[in-house]
Structure 1
Amino acid sequence: MPQAAHPSLEDLLEQARHRIQVTDAELDEARRRREAIANALLREFPGSRAYFNGSVAHGDALTPLTDIDLGVVIAEALHTHGPGKRGPLDLMERAAAAIRRELKGAYPKLTVQVDGCKRAVLVRFGDPVHGGEKDFTADIICAVDNLTGEGLYIPKVPTWSRSHPEAHTQMVLEAIENTAVVYAWVVRLLKHWNRRNGKPLCSWNIKALALGCIFEPMTQLAGLSIWFEFAADELEKGETADPARVAEKPIKLNKPRAEVVTALRHAGKRLDEAIGLEKDGYPLLAHDELAKLFNDEQMLPRPDQRAVVLEEARRFRAGRANGVTTGTGAGAQRARIPAKSWAP
C-alpha cells in the first residue's frame, strides 16, 4: 500500500486553526452575557446605542474565551460631557450600578469595578464560560459622540480621548468579506503566535496591520508570510497609526519597537524557510519549521523527530550531489501581493 502524502503546510495550518478557535458553546454564552449587559445599559441610558467590538465581534476569538468588549454611546451626555465639559466618571458609575442591579441575580459572584479603571468599566462574572478558566470578564466603554469630528470620545479618566471603535469593527468585517474570511483566519493564527511568543503586540495592532496587507482572498500560508514582512517593515518606520485616522496617538507596542521588529523578522524568516523546504520536496522539515514558529505542541505538534532526521540526511545528500550543503532561498519564489500602508 502506498504511503499517504504528508499534509501540506496549508493543511497543517487549517488543522491548527481549528484547534485554537473559539467553540460555538463559548460564543453563544459570551453573546448572551454581552446582550444582557447591553440591555442593562440601554435601559439606564434611554435613546443611546450600544456597539460591540473585540475578538467576538471581529470573528477572531480564541479558545479559551475569557472576555468580551462592548460600549454604549450615551445620548443624554452629548452636550454635557466631553473635552472641556464633564468627565466620564459619573457615566461610568451609573453604568456600573445598572449592570450590578440587572445582572447580580443571574451571576451571584458578579463584581463591577470603576475605581482605578482609566478606560472601561470592568465586569467580573465570577463564572467562566470555559471549564478550567478562573473567570470571564467584560470591558464596557461609556462613550459620547464627537460633534465636531469623526468617531467618539471615550474615557481616559479624568478626561476623554478620541477613538472610533464602531469604524474599527466595520473595517474588520469588510476585510473578512473581501477576503472570503481569510483575514479572520490569519488574524486568529497570528494572535496565537503572539501569545505563544511573548506577546510583543496587542491584538488590535495585529488586526490594524492586517488591514493594510490582507485585502483579497489568498491562502492562510500566504497571508501569514505577507503579514510578517509587512508588519516588520511598517513597525521599522514607526508605531501603527489608527486605521480609522481618529485616535491622536499610535497603537502602543508591548515591547521596545526594535525588539518587536526583530521578532517579526525572525518569525517571517522561519516561515519562509518552511515554505522553501516544502517547495524543495522536504515536507517533514517544512512541518517542523512551521511547528517551531508557533511554539505550541497542542496547537501544531512537531512531526516524528526520527523521520525529520532522516529527511534532513536526505536533504544533505542531495545538496552534496548538487555541490551545495545548504538549502535554497526559502522565500525566493514567494508570490507577492501589493500592500497598502495606513501610515499618514
Structure 2
Amino acid sequence: MVRKETLASLVDKGRRKIQVTDEELDEAKRRRRLLARSALRAFPGSTTYFNGSIAHGDANTPLTDVDLGVVLTAEDAKPYGPGKKSALSLMETVRDVIHEDLDEEFPKLTIEVVGRRRAVLVRFGDPVTNGQPDFTADVMTAIPHPSGCGLYIPNTKIADQWDRADPITHTKMVLQAIEDTKVIFARTVRLLKHWNGTHSKPLCSWNIKALALGCLGEPMPLVNALQVFFTHAADEINKGRTPDPAGVAGPIPLNMTRPEVHKRLCTARDYINLAIEHEAAGRPLSAQHALHQILPELVPDANATQEEADRLASTVRSGGTAATGLGLAVGLVTPTRAWGI
C-alpha cells in the first residue's frame, strides 16, 4: 500500500534533506572569524560585517562558501571611491595579510585578486563538507558612503570602479524577517534556493530573499509560504526587476530574460496551487505529484493515475470539463510586505 503523506510533511522532510549540519556551520564560521581577524589587522580601526547565506541563516548543504566584508575608516577611505582610486590596492593588502595569517594552517590556500569584480576570492584547498572539492570565501573591501547610508563596494567591471550597496542593512532585514516569521522565512528561502538551482537558476540568491522580504512577514505553514512567494514573485517580476530592499542600490539583475524568469515563477506558482487544491479535495497522491514538479530532488514522485481518473470522472458527472492541466488553488494566504515600495 502506498503511504500517503501531507504536503506539510513532504515539505518538512524535503527541507531537512538540505539543512546544513552543525559541523559544517561551526567550521565555516571559524574560518570566517579567521578571515575577519586578518582583515582587521590589514586595516586597523576598520569594522567587519558578515553577509551571505551563513549570516542570513539560510545556508544549505553542501556548504561551499562564506561571505564577509571589511569597511575602512572614513579617514583611510578618503583616497578611494568613484573618481578616485580603485579597490585594487586594498584587495592586494588584505590578500597579503590573509596569506601571512593562514598559510601555515591551510598549505593549499590560494587567493585571487586579478579579474575579481567585487571581492578577494580565498580558496582554502580544504572543504568544509566531505566530498566537496573546496571551500571558498569572498572578502569584500568596502568604504563608507559619504551620505552615511550604505557603502561603496568594488566593481572592477565599470568605469567608476565602485558601486553603492548596503549589505549590512540587507542582513539586518533578513534576520528581522526570520524573527518575525518564527524561522519560516529562512526555511522557505532554503527551499527556494534549491528550486532555483534545479530550474536553471533564473534568480540569484539575493533576488529570492529580496522578493521574500516583500511577502513573508508573519508565521505560516511552509507550504503556504511557498505559495505566497511564488504568487508574489511572479507578480513582481512581471512588473519589472526587483528593487533593492534597502533603497540604496539599483534593481537586482536577473540570470535570464524577464519573460523567461516570469514563466518559471508562474509554472511553480501554478503547481503549488494545484498541490494545495488536490490536498484540500482529498487527493494526496496528486498533491504529492504536483509538489514533486517544484522540488523534484526533495519530494519523491507519486503515481496519481487513479486519483486523476476519479477526479476527471467526478468532474464529468458534475457537468464540468474534463480538461487536465494546472488548476487554481483555494485559500491563498494574503501576502504581507516587509517594506514599502
Query: Given the two structures, how large is their TM-score scaled by the length of structure 1?
Result: 0.93
Partner of 2:165: 163
Partner of 2:104: 105
Corresponding position: 1:317 with 2:316 = no
Counterpart amino acid of residue 315 in structure 1: R
- What displacement does 1:342 show? 6.0
Partner of 2:278: 277
Corresponding position: 1:333 with 2:330 = yes
CA contact (8 A) 1:41 1:95 kept: yes
Partner of 1:23: 21
1:221-263, Cα deviation, whole Å (9 max, x unpaired): 111111111111111111111100111x211000000100011
- Whole-Å separation in 2 of the counterparts to 1:205 and 1:343: 17
Partner of 1:60: 58
Moved more, 158-167 or 3-12: 3-12
- What displacement does 1:45 show? 1.1
CA contact (8 A) 2:270 2:326 kept: no
- Whole-Å separation in 1 of the counterparts to 2:164 and 2:326: 45
Aligned counterpart for 1:72 among listed residues 65, 70, 73 = 70
Alignment of 1:79-228 (within 5 A): 79-157=78-156, 159-228=161-230
- What displacement does 1:329 show? 8.3
Counterpart amino acid of residue 100 in structure 2: R
CA contact (8 A) 1:197 1:295 kept: no
- What displacement does 1:341 show? 8.2
- Whole-Å separation in 1 of the counterparts to 2:224 and 2:323: 24
- Whole-Å separation in 2 of the counterparts to 1:285 and 1:232: 24
1:55-93, Cα deviation, whole Å (9 max, x unpaired): 000010111111100000012523222223322111110
Moved more, 153-162 or 332-341: 332-341
> Runs of 4+ in structure 1 displaced over 4 angstroms?
326-330, 341-344
Count of residues in correspondence between the two structures? 336
- What displacement does 1:149 show? 3.9
Counterpart amino acid of residue 317 in structure 1: A
Cα 1:38–1:341 change in 2 (3 A) is closer
1:269-301, Cα deviation, whole Å (9 max, x unpaired): 0110111000111001101110121121xx221
User: 5+ residue gaps in structure 2?
Assistant: none
Partner of 1:48: 46
CA contact (8 A) 1:22 1:62 kept: yes
- Whole-Å separation in 1 of the counterparts to 2:273 and 2:224: 10
- Whole-Å separation in 2 of the counterparts to 1:162 and 1:329: 42
Moved more, 41-50 or 192-201: 41-50
SS at match of 1:161: strand
Counterpart amino acid of residue 139 in structure 1: D
- Whole-Å separation in 2 of the counterparts to 1:342 and 1:170: 13
SS at match of 2:255: coil
Work out the percentage of aligned pairs sharing the same amino acid.
49
Counterpart amino acid of residue 177 in structure 1: E
1:151-177, Cα deviation, whole Å (9 max, x unpaired): 011111262110000000000000000
Aligned counterpart for 1:233 among listed residues 218, 232, 235 = 235
- Whole-Å separation in 2 of the counterparts to 1:339 and 1:96: 43
CA contact (8 A) 1:53 1:169 kept: yes
- Whole-Å separation in 2 of the counterparts to 1:8 and 1:222: 13
Query: Given the two structures, how large is their TM-score scaled by the length of structure 2?
Result: 0.94
- Whole-Å separation in 2 of the counterparts to 1:175 and 1:341: 8
Counterpart amino acid of residue 110 in structure 1: L
- Whole-Å separation in 1 of the counterparts to 2:61 and 2:230: 23
- Whole-Å separation in 2 of the counterparts to 1:17 and 1:184: 10
- Whole-Å separation in 2 of the counterparts to 1:200 and 1:301: 23
Moved more, 229-238 or 251-260: 229-238
CA contact (8 A) 1:241 1:343 kept: no
- Whole-Å separation in 2 of the counterparts to 1:269 and 1:124: 41
Alignment of 1:281-320 (within 5 A): 281-296=282-297, 299-303=298-302, 305=303, 308-320=304-316
Cα 1:146–1:272 change in 2 (3 A) is same
SS at match of 2:171: helix
CA contact (8 A) 1:236 1:261 kept: yes
CA contact (8 A) 1:276 1:329 kept: no
SS at match of 1:323: coil
Counterpart amino acid of residue 116 in structure 2: C
Counterpart amino acid of residue 310 in structure 1: Q
SS at match of 2:139: strand
SS at match of 1:144: strand
